Amino acid sequence: MSNLNQTPEAQTLPKAKVLSFYYRRTGMGGLNDSVIISFRTKRPIRSALRTSRSGHHGSRLYRLLPAKYLIYAVERSNAGNLYCTISIVRVNNDGGINTVKDWEVCRQGEHLLMLEDLPGDIRELLVSNKDQLPLFDRVFLINQDPDEDQDSNTEGI
C-alpha cells in the first residue's frame, strides 16, 4: 500500500548514501577531519558534526547523492605527525561507493606529494577551497616568503 502514496518521481529518485568520518580536535594539537568536495559544484558538501560532550571527539556525517566527489582526509597526532590522503570516489545510483583514485600526500610528517604533483583539476579544487580544508598550508607547504618574490622583481633595477 505504501507504493500508492508515492509519486512516480519519488520512486525513481536516486538513493542518498550517508558517509561517516571520525572527527577529533584535542587541546594538545591532535586533529582528525575529512572534507568532501563536489566535482559538480566545486564546493564542499555540507556535513553534520556530532561530537561528545567535551566536543573533542565525534563523527562528521555527509549525505551524498550519486556523483563524483573529492575527499580530503587529514590527521595530526598529538606529537605533531601529519597524515593526509586525497581520494576521488564515485557514489553509484544504487548507493554503492567506488574509490577511483587515492593519493597519499603525507605520512608521519614526511611529504610524499606536493600540490604540483596532483592533476590540474584536483589542484584547482583544493586551492579554490583551501580556506575550508584543515591544515592545508601545512599539508602542501605553501611558500609564503615575500622576500623571494621581491628579489625576482628587483633583478632588472
Are residues 35 and 132 in contact, defined by beta-carbon separation less than 8 angstroms? yes
With the C-alpha atoms ordered 102, 120, 35, 26, is the resulting torsion angle positive or negative?
positive
Listed by start position, the domains of the chain span: 19-131
The pLDDT of residue 128 is 96
Specify the range with the lowest mean pLDDT, choosing from 26-30, 62-66, 115-119, 135-139.
26-30
Give the mean pLDDT of the chain. Answer: 85
Report the pLDDT value the prediction gives residue 13, as an integer from 0 to 100: 65
With a cut of 50, say whether residue 153 has pLDDT above it: no
**Full-model pTM:** 0.81
**CB atoms closer than 10 angstroms to residue 139:** 24
Q: What is the mean pLDDT of residues 87-105?
A: 92
pLDDT value of position 154: 42
pLDDT per residue as tens digits for the range 34-75: 999 999 999 999 999 999 998 899 999 999 999 999 999 999
pLDDT for 43: 97
- The CA-based angle 18-22-23, given to 5 degrees, is 115
Q: Region 18-37: what's the mean pLDDT?
A: 93
pLDDT at site 11: 59
Q: Which of 146, 152, 14, 1 is nearest to 92 (CA)?
A: 14
Return d(Cα 32, Cα 124) in angstroms, integer: 23
Q: Helix, strand, coil % (nearest 5) of the chain?
A: 25, 40, 35
Q: How many CB atoms lie within 10 A of CB 2?
A: 5
